[in-house]
Amino acid sequence: MPFEVFRRHQRKMLAILAILAMFSFVLADSLPRLLNPGGAPQDVEVARLFGRPVRLSDLNQMARQRSRANQVATMLGLSMFTRDFFGGLKQRDLIDALILEKEADRLGMPADPITGREWLRAVTGGRINRETFDQVYSRFSNDVSQEALLADVANQVRIAKVRMLSGEPLVTPYDTFRAYRGQNERVADKVVEIPVEDFLAKVGEPSSADVQAVYEKYKDVLPDPDSPTPGFKTPRRIQVEFVTVDAASRAHALREKLTDADLRAYYENHKNDFKVPSELPEALFADAADLTPPVIQPFADVRALLADRLADEKAQAEVNDVFARIRDESLIPYADAYLTMLDERAADPNTPVKEPEPVDLKAVAAKDGLAYEITPMLSREQAAKYGLISNAQVGSVRFSNGPNFVDEFFSSKSGVYEPVELTDIVGGRYLARKLKDEAPKVPPLDDVRAEVVRAWKLEKARPLAEKAAKDLAAKIKAEKKGKIDEDKVDGYNVLALPPIARRQSGISTNPFEPAPQVETPIADVPHAGEAFRDAYFGIQEGETAVAADRPETTYYVIALDRREPVDFNQFYGPVGEEMRFRSLARQETAVSRDDAWMSRLRRQAGLPSDWTPPDEVSKDEAQG
């Protein structure tokens, strides 16, 4: 929670932040389009709170206010690690904001310009004055008055304060030790795999009524590899064609052709890139630069680097020229003609409109010596694993931080035939366009009958597999005292899993907070759920346990191989990591308390626990 982080560390943060930093923002007048990406003009009902409807216009109003307050926070240097100092702009965030606003009203918390002004003075240590605020306000002068802007800030402040009313979390020494143990106690188990597949032959065949019943129940459900229940709805699928260039290979070939004159000319034009770092400040003699002339690395010392850089620049320029020509001469004109055709058909459905002449991208690629590929119809999951392009990002350079291949082509804003340039992690360049985009659909029973029959059989076979697992677990405990030494037990494979901790440190984006804990992947059990993890890490010497994976396609008999415990006294000793894990435990407890507090407020507002905002529903359908 950015607001709480700032409150705890405001002295540190204000000491290193400059007032009036960062002026790059999302314009508030674009927010309605962000909240309603489909562009539909209807002011639809999004939810019902306190017995009254909440419409898209209500969310847009809160979004504009929060966006302005976030911009003020950024301009004053408060948003060091996030642009959303007061919270996000997704529909779920805004619904929570409306609920918190109602609670602030009930508590009588003010949201007037004076409160906003005093809060700004407090958080900036009195550094903000009339001149400073006028500079901030100049970004909004056409959108809101000064008094309204201060009121916006005040309202978002009280919303943030209400969110924190659950108070500081209580963290005991045992909570801290549990956080430490979760990352440091390592467990190695032996697990016996008992696939449900092995019992399908024992359940017979379903009747026509059985097949129809299963189909009707799950025909409108998208398949989920982590769910034990089936889904027969065909997910959204796309087809993409693209040309690709190995820019690294081109650069290697060009490097061999570079002459010494080429490299020396490049060196002369880029000498400043090869300065030798000086122990003295560069501006020591700012008025007499000739007293401290820069020391440049000799040409011979940087010749190899020059060759690599110049060859890469030439290769990238060649690729840019080729892609620009294909895009501008072939792909964009066709995309424009295609959109024009759709507009003409929509305007007059009764008049035939000729489709534009298609572009044979494969022939264009062959002419320019480029590799060409066209994908089959891909679901989102399949696209995420489709070759090197699956890890490519939009942009003409590596690590551009643009949308990745899947997010770009499954975006609701991505149209067919629009050319997109991408680059993968090894420098491969792609010019791609989407050819087909099929929405999720319910297939007829005859098309998915085999899947329906299999789903019925899996449901009937699971109790048999579970019973076999429990019987085997009892046998191993009674006859072998909970030890598994063989590679196979009763014909079932045994997996020997290496010692791992239940949790590991994730990636932190905030140096004032510890890295969050994430679950450690378990080798050979890709769909391990919470039940399996509890059994795996909780198993004791001489005991056995039975647990299934999340989709319940395999049951596992679990026995301890060895445990590498941690010591309570050592943890709290002079060289222990008590402080780090106390902070981590406090962070996790705070998140848990915040979730519980917001759940209570949502219930009081009458928001159903299974409510899903429209923007997330659209996203789910797009990802399907």
Give the contacts of 268 (CB within 8 A, at least 6 positions apart). Answer: none
pLDDT, one tens digit per residue, over 487-527 is 999 999 999 999 999 998 877 666 656 677 789 999 899 89
Nearest in space to 119 (alpha carbons), one of 172, 89, 155, 162: 155
For residues 215 and 314, membership in a common domain is answered with: no
Give domain status of residue 455, yes or no. yes
Task: Judge whether 582 lies within some domain.
Answer: no
Is a pLDDT exceeding 70 seen at residue 620? no
Q: How confident is the model at residue 275 (pLDDT cuts 50, 70, 90)?
A: confident
Residue 3: half-sphere exposure toward Cβ, Cα within 13 Å: 18
**Predicted local distance difference test score (pLDDT) of residue 19:** 36
pLDDT band at 82 (very low <50, low <70, confident <90, very high): low
Same domain, 311 and 354: yes
CA neighbor of 621 nearest in space, from 457, 442, 426: 442
pLDDT of residue 287: 64
- Is the pLDDT at 352 greater than 70? The verdict is yes
CB 188 within 8 A of CB 497: yes
Residue 213 makes CB contacts below 8 A (sequence gap 6+) with none
- DSSP class of residue 404 equals B
CA distance 425 to 387: 12
Whether 278 contacts 295, CB under 8 Å: yes
Instruction: Inform me whether the pLDDT recorded for 482 exceeds 70.
Output: yes
The whole-model pTM stands at: 0.68
Query: In terms of domains, do 215 and 258 share one?
Result: no
pLDDT reported for residue 413: 85
Neighbours of 379 (CB within 10 A): 19
Q: What are the tens digits of pLDDT across the range 148-192? A: 999 999 999 999 999 989 887 888 888 888 888 899 999 999 999
> Do residue 192 and residue 300 come from a single domain?
no
Phi, psi (5° rounding) for residue 332? -65, -45
**Does the pLDDT of residue 399 top 80, yes or no?**
no
Question: Final residue of a domain: which of 416, 438, 460?
Answer: 438
Output 13 or 431, whichever has higher pLDDT. 431
**Domain co-membership, 454 together with 371:** no
The C-alpha atoms of residue 621 and residue 365 are separated, in whole angstroms, by 34
- Check whether residue 18 and residue 87 sit in a common domain: yes
Residue 352 belongs to domain spanning: 238-438
Write out pLDDT tens, residues 88-122.
899 999 999 999 999 999 999 999 999 999 999 99
Same domain, 46 and 88: yes
| 77 and 203 housed in the same domain | no
Q: Are residues 368 and 330 in the same domain?
A: yes
The answer on 382 and 257 residing in a single domain is: yes
Residues, the chain, total? 624
Model pLDDT, residue 408: 94
pLDDT (tens digit per residue) in 448-467? 999 999 999 999 999 999 99
Residues 317-334 have pLDDT tens digits of 999 999 999 999 999 999
CA distance 123 to 450: 64
